[in-house]
Amino acid sequence: MTTRPPRIWISNATPAVGEIVRLRTQIAHPMESGFRIDAAGRPIPRHIVTRFEARLDDRLLLEWEPQSAISQNPYLEFTFAARQPGTLRMTWIDDLGETITAEKDITLA
């Protein structure tokens, strides 16, 4: 996997109650489908992210189960209504069992 941390952009880390917050995130990941072959003609093993989850503290905001058609270094954008302060925790899990996590604190104005 990679040692680069996920890239995170949030429209407002101190939103007003009820404000719609836009979050963009990207991770470095090969997202190898398992359908390609290398220069020697051998299949390149499948290695994809199989699950993404975003939570604000314990509240689930988004869950996604990508498939092999997603390009490498997956980018994801979503919105949510700011109803409570807390720690926004994002988790990516791939089919090799590797997990990448990132956190961002949200404080209500």
d(CA 64, CA 60): 11
Helix (H, G, I), strand (E, B) or coil at 109: coil
Mean pLDDT by 10 residues, the chain (109 residues): 83 96 96 94 95 96 90 95 96 95 95
**What pTM was estimated for this model as a whole?**
0.89
Helix (H, G, I), strand (E, B) or coil at 10: strand
How far apart are the two ends of the chain, measured CA to CA in Å?
A: 37
Note the pLDDT of residue 4. 86
d(CA 61, CA 1): 26
Note the pLDDT of residue 67. 85
What are the structural domains, with CATH classification, of the chain?
7-36+43-106 (2.60.40.10)
